[in-house]
Structure 1
């Protein structure tokens, strides 16, 4: 979908530097990359693998061209030195200099073409996979607030409940914007605000600094973050602004990652990391295939999300991922939602993710579990493309940081889970979790 032009074409200037890939390391790890490509079940897997297998030969060709260029330069400097001593020899060597110049231009052209091919291949590669990532199906890590039985109840469906309580208006939103848009009203809007306030407070208490990021960024940033979330039927995700190189962010992860672009971060504190929590509106152009998931709040085009983002030294990124997961578990426990923590399989991971956890809550009205949060370690996939580094105190060298992200609160889906689990048909009331009541003036029921 295209939104009418809002910004001038001056926004089309590029700000990211060309990514610097460790080609030698990639060549050494071709088997791991090939396995990652196959296990992720990428659509263009065969094409990517073919390009990957050419890297070693192309890298060797670059060395040969570099040597040829060096030889040409040696010959040119030798001739120039002779001419400098005796200007009468200019005529004798002019043809030789012209030939060397043509040879240099030819080799330089070949070198540029090869480097571009190598760069494109490296950019197309997904991250390698953590050895603990399962194949085929998610692996249940643990249960949160488990129930004796998970019952399906159409009476618990959030749409009917929220419409009846005047918390939601889908019809008017559909009239003015189309399907998968919505109004939150009265206690619906207050519940959203309470969830945001709760998540922000909890994140601050856990060492995350606050951030209000932009909801619009340059598409080069979106691409550099590798944001191409999988959705039903391979539907397009990003809203773009006509006649610009701008897009609406699908998650604040993108704009928060941009905060470190082209920078050297100080990660030499005791924590060896920087942690941010940001709240923003998020936009997804396609909200899913038509059906049950597009009725109500489970799949929508615009929503509020509280996002966690971290930059860390490589040696502690696995630990940071576990800390993000534990933060998310504590949120779900405090809210009282029955849920499960999943180690997600390779075919569910986006290109940037080295490893990803999801938490799915039971949603009685859907008769199924639904994802309410995720957490990913992207290692140096994003930082190489964003040129985000840190200075290693022990060596003084600049190294690429590792980036991680996680959901602190995805509002619509969390509301689905809360309404469907805590609605009591016998009283017609929705119980408000205790941890949210301070943000709703002590209100215990809706």
Structure 2
């Protein structure tokens, strides 16, 4: 049974499926599915999950001596991942069912037509376009929320308190992640996988930022407010965790309401039947996004050039919008590490290493840019550094995905992992930020 559990785990690691829409072997250890709660990067693309040829699956009523159920689709995955057969230098035998023809009680699933959408390279390009456009929208929304709740309007947030400027956007993004990244993600993915990626990874990932949160707590520390920075992390974690819980619960309530309305109308449960999976539809959307991104970058580039010498704040925003998509792309590629673990054995696969690497690296570069800006201390450097921090680093890091992973771990059989994961993220990024930013400020005597 232990051998088959390892086989099932390897099958699932090598599967290129994503979210709640794919079928996988159920195993006792939920570490991998929990660590993939937020994002799995390019493994979510249909072109990575399925081959270009049509395929079918067989499932068997009878079980092997080990009690495991294995499908023909899983056997096909062995061709993509031969390492499944090698565990501690031993070769695992195939189950008895797979060494003989299917029995009469086998259930043949209907043939599924994969590959009727875009080819792989266009599929990648389309996904990058989705991420770019929605990433820019996320940056703009984060800026609006900063201004709305900041000192200039509502006065709720400030650079000098534990209620940092990006707190409202992190809370709103985490709340929306509960709706569109948890409860309704499968419905959106049914319509379009690219749309689901664009909303969760692109828009919500860019709307929220971990690096900005970490840097504000580091700024408090360099001013001597160590207690405030510690409380700021605790308060921030509580608020984003509560936000995604509130989002999930309200989304479940809305889904129940839709199901109840459909039931009374005699329609049945709520379900989206429309699916944008044809080549022509996907190509049309890709061209539309390409034109839209070209217009956005053209306008943004002109605004950066016009505002660079006149308005620091406006120039920072438009420069951030220009470089923001690069941060989204990097985070999306790093997300493929989620659920993989370390090494061939998948050590610590409950840790979303992709999200962890994105948040820690963004926080580290954020601190480095702040330190460089302190040393140079000029108007032009302030504009460039602030734009890179708000756009590139802000989009590279994410709180909405972090909150989704934290919430999934908290609800799993090993709830302690949620707090261990949060502690690792916060402690490592904060420590590196102290070394990169605070130490130069203290030793060189930069103006604080």
Higher strand share: 1
Q: TM-score scaled to structure 1, two decimals? A: 0.24
Higher helix share: 2
The structure with more radius of gyration: 1
